[in-house]
């Protein structure tokens, strides 16, 4: 009798083991998969990040601050060391773009009323400003028009005919293109679970890759218009004035590029090219999109580089925008 009981017990044990194993599998012991892009997008919505874009300061306003309240301002010049040495704003510090976050935190720049990032044209600085403001450093601004607005000697970016002109004015259209249907967000894999931690990882990654992957020029775009999802980041009435063929209008204020509105209409299988008038607002937005995992790119020099003579707003005017403020070596 005892042998028979032992025999039946031996038959039952494997089934108990199998049942327990299946129960473990079905009982949720596996770690929950976090949709990082969704967590991050909702977090950025909650922080109302896009409402703080763009964040610029004019050369005239910066000069006034430096004359009246210099201790409240920090100027971070992200141009090359050689160009910085040839002439820069008094008191500015030359910082490599990749080191901006570390420099800001190490030097406790959150204690400054205003932190200005200066580059050549305002576009790299716009991108960097966007990244730092996403982290909550809302005292950061980029110098509008960059060092081109500070002094004639540093104005080359915005006075170059290769950057500013009418090359594609005749190709602008008034034909509207509808937004895509809502789709999926990009996939992120930082290993983090909450919005703040995911954001930190992504900002560091985008800073490390540098500005170049976030850029595209007009020649490349017009050579393959169908190869890009082109975002016209203007109000609707200005979009109706004329835009790049195939461009899709997204209103900047309040922005339609939030998770709660139309962010998911952006594709994940092709580059998303954002353009504005100057390339500075679009640089902020390209930074935001790259942090979210999109292949976001800013169209350099915006419409100033494509349809300068006829554009209805945002035109660089050398006679009023280039100043003669001091440069030091």
Look at residue 7 in the predicted model and tell me its pLDDT: 41
pLDDT digit string, tens, across residues 2-33: 444 444 444 444 443 334 443 444 555 555 68
Look at residue 27 in the predicted model and tell me its pLDDT: 52
Nearest partner of 137 among 99, 109, 107, 117, judged by Cα? 109
The DSSP symbol for 135 reads: T
Residue 204 sits in the same domain as residue 295: yes
Residue 272 lies in a domain: yes
Residue 152 sits in the same domain as residue 256: no
Q: How far is CA 265 from the centre of its chain?
A: 17
pLDDT digit string, tens, across residues 245-270: 999 999 999 999 999 999 999 999 99
Structure tokens at 3: 């042998």
Residue 175 sits in the same domain as residue 300: yes
Cα–Cα dist 226/221, whole Å: 9
Q: Judge whether 277 and 123 are in contact, CB under 8 Å.
A: no
Residue 182 sits in the same domain as residue 296: yes
Alpha-carbon separation of residue 207 from 32, 60, 131, 183, 300 (angstroms):
29, 29, 8, 27, 18
Residue 150 sits in the same domain as residue 179: no
* Residue span of the structural domain in which 253 resides: 169-305
The answer, as to whether pTM is greater than 0.75, is yes
Residue 10 lies in a domain: no
Residue 193 sits in the same domain as residue 91: no
DSSP for 61-95 reads HHHHHHHH-GGGEEEEE-S-HHHHHH-B-TT-EE-
Look at residue 98 in the predicted model and tell me its pLDDT: 97
Beta bridge partners of 76: 93, 117
Residue 6 lies in a domain: no
Can you give the CATH number for the domain in which 62 is found?
3.40.250.10
The counts of H helices and E strands in the chain are 12, 10
Residue 128 sits in the same domain as residue 193: no
Residue 150 sits in the same domain as residue 264: no
Q: Measure the CA angle with vertex 306, ends 304 and 307; round to 5°.
A: 75
Q: Which ranges of the chain have pLDDT less than 50?
A: 1-25
Residue 64 sits in the same domain as residue 186: no
Look at residue 34 in the predicted model and tell me its pLDDT: 87
Residue 103 sits in the same domain as residue 206: no
Residue 187 sits in the same domain as residue 233: yes
């Amino acid at each position: 009798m005892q042998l028979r009981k032992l025999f039946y017990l031996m038959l039952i044990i494997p089934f108990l083991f199998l049942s327990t194993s299946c129960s473990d599998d079905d009982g949720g012991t596996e770690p929950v998969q976090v949709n990082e892009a969704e967590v991050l997008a909702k977090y950025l919505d909650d922080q109302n990040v896009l409402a703080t874009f763009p964040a610029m300061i004019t050369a005239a306003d910066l000069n006034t601050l430096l004359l009246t309240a210099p201790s409240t301002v920090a100027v971070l010049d992200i141009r090359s060391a050689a160009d910085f040495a040839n002439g820069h704003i008094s008191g500015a510090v030359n910082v490599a773009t990749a080191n901006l976050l570390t420099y800001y935190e190490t030097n406790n720049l959150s204690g400054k009323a205003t932190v200005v990032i200066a580059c050549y044209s305002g576009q790299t600085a716009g991108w960097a400003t966007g990244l730092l403001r996403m982290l909550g450093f809302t005292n950061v601004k980029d110098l509008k028009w960059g060092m081109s607005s500070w002094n004639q000697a540093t104005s080359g970016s915005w006075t170059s005919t290769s950057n500013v002109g009418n090359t594609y004015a005749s190709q602008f259209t008034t034909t509207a293109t509808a937004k895509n249907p809502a789709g999926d967000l990009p996939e992120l894999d930082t290993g983090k679970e909450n919005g703040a931690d995911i954001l930190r990882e992504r900002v560091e990654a985008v800073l490390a890759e540098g500005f170049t992957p976030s850029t595209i020029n007009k020649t490349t775009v017009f050579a393959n218009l169908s190869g890009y999802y082109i975002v016209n980041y203007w109000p609707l009435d200005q979009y109706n004035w004329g835009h790049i063929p195939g461009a899709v209008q997204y209103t900047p204020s309040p922005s339609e590029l939030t998770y709660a509105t139309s962010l998911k209409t952006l594709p994940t299988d092709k580059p998303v090219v954002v353009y504005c008038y100057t390339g500075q607002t679009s640089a902020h937005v390209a930074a935001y999109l790259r942090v979210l995992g999109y292949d976001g790119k800013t169209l350099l020099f915006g419409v100033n580089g494509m349809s300068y003579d006829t554009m209805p707003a945002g035109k660089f005017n050398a006679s009023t925008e280039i100043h003669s403020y001091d440069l030091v070596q």
